[in-house]
Amino acid sequence: MAQDDALNLFSWIDDFIYECEVERQLSSHTVKNYKRQLNEVIEAIKIQDWRTFSTNDGKKVLQLARKKGLSPRSINLRITVLRNFFKFLLKKKRVKGNPLATIHSVKHRNPLPKNINVDQANDLLSFEGDDFLTIRDKCIFELLYGCGLRLSEITSLNFDSILEDSTVKVVGKGNKERIVPIGKKAMEALTKYLPVREDIIPFEHEPALFLSIRKNRLSNRQLATRLSQWAKQQTIFQKISPHTLRHSYATHMLESSKDLRAVQELLGHENLSTTGIYTHLNFQHLSEVYDNAHPRAKKK
């Protein structure tokens, strides 16, 4: 491999990663994953130059991934990253076409996330206490279930994320902001928590809304561990994660409102299809929403 070609292999990846990180503002986890996928493609098929990468090379990447025993989700991620990388190279006029354009993703069924029912949610949130950790945890869980937040969204909240009109400003995937209403129970828990939190460290010195016992921002792992512990204590005989509460929020909202579009906005989903999959609606329910909502579907 010529030195210039070897340099181009990795420098073009670096250019793509820079666009993902700075211009598209993807998360650091996503960016690292993208870079790892492309480096593994180089290693797998011993490519010499991105300009000579062909559709057959793309098929070879697919075959080697299957032979390696990667899951359909992992294979599709690799295809998607490679396809987007060549879209970037095409935009920059470094290649003449996208060799991944005709290669389709592997078909697979996404396992639907499990939810808890309303009674289980009430049981989980029925604990009380006057110590800092109990008050903090109660507030976190009420916001997770009451606002449908992602794990990373709630740990990244700051004091100024809570707005005066009982809403919360959330920074979701792709650094996109959305405003979500805070329900009565979550607002009560928040009102109780804020003065206790302020006593630990003034918000002007540490803006993080939720702190660990070490007085720094609560991590995703710490939150998930606390939720699992409380679920066991509240005798919820099922694995509970922050994602479980988000999915339960979506499910219960849809069961009550039957408004798929509104729930999409509240969850921060870019595509409506994501919300449909995420909320395990059956086709009959989706058809009912369509029949009642679409002007061309309504019966006279």
What residue segments make up the domains of the chain, in order of their start?
3-91, 118-293
* Number of residues in the chain: 300
| CATH 1.20.950 matches 3-91 | no
Q: Does 246 qualify as catalytic in the annotation?
A: yes
pLDDT at 275: 54
pLDDT at 94: 92
Q: Is 209 exposed, middle or buried (0-12, 13-18, 19+ CB in 10 A)?
A: buried
Q: Does 68 qualify as catalytic in the annotation?
A: no
Q: Which of 40, 64, 52 is nearest to 1 (CA)?
A: 52
What is the Cα–Cα distance from 180 to 267, expressed in whole angstroms? 9
CATH fold label, 118-293: hpI Integrase; Chain A (1.10.443)
pLDDT averaged per 10 residues in sequence order, the chain, 300 residues = 56 93 87 92 89 92 89 89 93 91 76 78 93 97 91 94 92 85 92 96 95 94 95 88 88 71 68 54 51 58
Q: Does 243 qualify as catalytic in the annotation?
A: yes
- Residue pair 167/210 in contact by the 8 Å Cβ criterion: no
**Same fold yes or no, 3-91 and 118-293:** no
* Alpha carbon distances (Å) from 243 to 72, 73, 87, 151, 285: 22, 19, 32, 7, 23
Q: Does 294 qualify as catalytic in the annotation?
A: no
pLDDT at 282: 44
Active-site option among 35, 78, 150, 247: 150
Active-site option among 59, 243, 258, 285: 243
Active-site option among 83, 114, 173, 217: 173
Q: Does 173 qualify as catalytic in the annotation?
A: yes
- Amino acid letter at 30? T
pLDDT at 5: 44
Q: Considering the entire predicted model, what is its pTM?
A: 0.58
Active-site option among 145, 193, 249, 278: 278
Q: Does 108 qualify as catalytic in the annotation?
A: no
Active-site option among 35, 78, 138, 246: 246
